Amino acid sequence: MKQPSLALVAIAVAAVLSAGVAQAKPFKWASQADVASWDIHAQNNGLHNAIHPYVYETLVTYNSKTFAVEPLLATSWKEVSPKQMRFALRQGVKFQDGSSFTADDAVFSITRAMAKTSNYGPFVQGIEKVVKVDDGTIDIFMVDPNPVLLRQMTELRMMSKAWSEKNKSTEPMDIKKADENFAHRNAMGTGPFILESWQPDVRMVLKKNPNWWGQMPGNVSSITYTPIKSAPTRMAALLSGEVDMILDPTPQDLNRLRASPDLKILEGLENRTIFFGMDQFRDELPGSSVKGKNPLKEQKVRQALYQSIDIQAITKTILRGLGKPTGTLVAPQVNGWTETVGQRLPYNQDAAKKLLVEAGYPDGFEVDFACPNNRYISDEAICQAVTAMWAKIGVKAKLRTLPMVTYFPMIQRNEASIYMLGWGVPTFDSLYSLQSLVRSVGKGGDGNYNVGRYSNERMDYLVDRVKTETDQPVRTRMLTEGLQLSNDTVSHLPLYDQVIPWAMKKNIDLVHRADNRIDIKLVTVR
């Protein structure tokens, strides 16, 4: 037999060697849902805000590890006055059609987010107007000093003014109208990836933008995103190697995935806290055995409910480790959190019983209890477990579980006496939670999810002060005080911070982000 030729051997060796170097590689991932639109202001939801940044960039962005605000399309910013921020825009940035990114585009994009048909209201909240200073500079004028403006701006993405005018998409897609706009199915930004094709619910393909201004630490050359609704199928797609990563594996499959030699699980704390809220407003609870008064108005009763929940047992057996017990309304990454406010009241059924006796309910009472059954990890099972724990101190919770499409409107009509809620914090600042959850119900975002209508004068004062307080240390102290006040008055029953697992092939390196987004620039396929 002939010896293999030298040339062949050389080629083989070269092939093996080059495989070791990080080459550009495709990255395929899947999760449950699909983005509903590529119009960057059409719908404010988590998956949009996770995928749109591949194509559309913001002026400032979060560092994926520390969540500090970093420059992106703006290189620097400074306060001209407490109500005026000046941003210097990055020079030489080109849109994917070759046109330059200028101040006009930035003014246009932020103004577009303020339009009536936009759903990005929360992120332009407090902005009065945006003004072009020169081609590379814009000013943002605020109604009042706004200390979280930069954090809001991490969700305000930039699109081309000329492109949207040419394609009649200057207004955000209005879902009330019977027609879609051009920006709904097409995307054109300054970002590292170009949207190549998108079939809703089927497949989305993005390829690398060769003219992108930045440097990518990772080596992804193209992205294929597939929504796979059924959990076992999603799992099978990963196990059979058809996708590189899935964002939402089911808890019961984790051990199996961990045992596989080709896969790995990356776990991280999400900035979402799960808790129970309680009706502290009505004089008599509907469906309760107590007539003429509302036991949940009594702080001792709330504390008794709190102390009879064995959260360790829940996180260990039901969540299988996918929850970290907490004693407050925000997760540790969020500004305002401290070790002290994060402390839970101890689990103690005897103390709970005693508190109930002191409050005048020695035999307990009946109360309505509502939970979603398809929103948070194992939500229904957790509520069932808690119902059993409360039964031990005599509180008979009448549990009803609903799918989220009916659950959320129901609790917003203040119909539930005790309800479960999870709250993520996109601004990484406690104001976001305190204003929505414990500020007395008022105008705008004040108390918009304060479904139990908790009300405390000191809390209202703190929240209103923090909205405009720009002195960072003072602000942070006040946020911590707000959290502590919520703990002291047992405004809610905090349960745990969600831990989110991502499952992927062994050869994928990436950074687990607390907001459940993949920073595509940091993904390396080995």
Partner 1 sequence: MFAFILRRLIQAVIVMIAVAFISFMLFQYVGDPVTFLLGQDATPQQIAELRSALGLDKPFFVQFWHFLVNAAQGEFGISLRQGAKVSSLIAERFPATFELAMVAALLALVVGVPMGVYAALRRGSFMSQMFMTLSLLGVSLPTFLIGILLILIFSVHLGWFPSFGRGTTMQLGFWSTGLLSAKGWHHIILPAITLAIFQLTLIMRLVRAEMLEVLRTDYIKFAKARGLSNRTIYFGHALKNTLVPVMTITGLQLGGLIAFAIITETVFQWPGMGLLFIQAVTFADIPVMAAYLCLIALIFVVINLVVDLLYFAVDPRLRVEKSGGH
Which residue lies nearer to partner 1 by CB, 63 or 374? 374
Interface segment toward partner 1; rule CB under 8 A; list 187-195, 297-305, 420-428, 517-525:
420-428
Quick one: which of 24, 79, 144, 232 contacts partner 1 (CB under 8 A)?
232
Conformational region of residue 82, where left means phi above 0, alpha means psi within -120 to 50, and beta covers everything else: alpha
Phi, psi (deg, nearest 5) at residue 368: -80, 140
Question: What tokens does 307 get?
Answer: 């102390």
Which residue lies nearer to partner 1 by CB, 214 or 445? 445
Is residue 408 at the binding interface for partner 1, with CB under 8 A as the rule?
Answer: yes
Interface segment toward partner 1; rule CB under 8 A; list 9-17, 59-67, 168-176, 476-484:
168-176
Interface segment toward partner 1; rule CB under 8 A; list 18-26, 133-141, 239-247, 354-362:
239-247
CA 98 to chain centre: 33
3-state secondary structure (DSSP) of residue 223? strand
Element spanning 163, H or E = helix 161-166
Is residue 43 at the binding interface for partner 1, with CB under 8 A as the rule?
Answer: yes
Measured from the CB of residue 152, what is the shortest distance to partner 1 in angstroms? 10
Is residue 230 at the binding interface for partner 1, with CB under 8 A as the rule?
Answer: yes
Interface segment toward partner 1; rule CB under 8 A; list 5-13, 73-81, 204-212, 397-405:
397-405
Distance between CA 267 and CA 252 in Å, rounded? 15
Interface segment toward partner 1; rule CB under 8 A; list 104-112, 277-285, 441-449, 454-462:
441-449
Which residue lies nearer to partner 1 by CB, 239 or 290? 239
Which residue lies nearer to partner 1 by CB, 79 or 262? 262
Is residue 115 at the binding interface for partner 1, with CB under 8 A as the rule?
Answer: no
Strands 203-208 and 220-227: antiparallel
Contacts of 301 (CB under 8 A, 6+ apart): 295, 355, 356, 359, 361
Is residue 42 at the binding interface for partner 1, with CB under 8 A as the rule?
Answer: yes
Quick one: which of 91, 374, 472, 507 contacts partner 1 (CB under 8 A)?
374
Measured from the CB of residue 427, what is the shortest distance to partner 1 in angstroms? 9
Quick one: which of 26, 136, 227, 327 contacts partner 1 (CB under 8 A)?
227
Residues 426/401, Cβ–Cβ less than 8 Å: no
Measured from the CB of residue 292, what is the shortest distance to partner 1 in angstroms? 29
Element spanning 125, H or E = none
Quick one: which of 16, 19, 178, 259 contacts partner 1 (CB under 8 A)?
178
Packing angle, helices 299-307 and 349-359, rounded to 10: 160
Q: What DSSP state is assigned to residue 227?
A: E
Other C-beta atoms closer than 10 Å to the C-beta of 446 total 16
For the chain, give me the number of helices (H) and strands (E)? 17, 19
Instruction: Output the CA angle 57-58-59, nearest 5 degrees.
Output: 130
Distance between CA 339 and CA 164 in Å, rounded? 48
Other C-beta atoms closer than 10 Å to the C-beta of 219 total 17
Is residue 44 at the binding interface for partner 1, with CB under 8 A as the rule?
Answer: yes
Question: What tokens does 506 get?
Answer: 């062994």
Which residue lies nearer to partner 1 by CB, 37 or 308? 37
| Single-letter amino acid code for the residue at 376 | Y
Residues 183-222 that bind partner 1 (CB under 8 A): 184, 199-203
Quick one: which of 239, 359, 485, 522 contacts partner 1 (CB under 8 A)?
239
H helices of 35-116, in order, are 46-51, 103-113
Which residue lies nearer to partner 1 by CB, 195 or 305? 195
Which residue lies nearer to partner 1 by CB, 357 or 410? 410
Measured from the CB of residue 40, what is the shortest distance to partner 1 in angstroms? 13
Which residue lies nearer to partner 1 by CB, 233 or 252? 233
Is residue 26 at the binding interface for partner 1, with CB under 8 A as the rule?
Answer: no
Distance between CA 358 and CA 364 in Å, rounded? 11
Residues in the chain: 526
Task: Give, rounded to a whole angstrom, the gap between the first and last alpha carbons of the chain.
Answer: 37
Which residue lies nearer to partner 1 by CB, 145 or 445? 445
Beta bridge partners of 504: 245, 264
Is residue 119 at the binding interface for partner 1, with CB under 8 A as the rule?
Answer: yes
Contact residues for partner 1 (CB under 8 A)?
36-37, 39, 42-45, 119, 121-122, 173, 175-180, 184, 199-203, 226-230, 232-233, 236-237, 239-242, 374, 403-410, 412, 423-424, 426, 432, 436, 444-445, 448-449
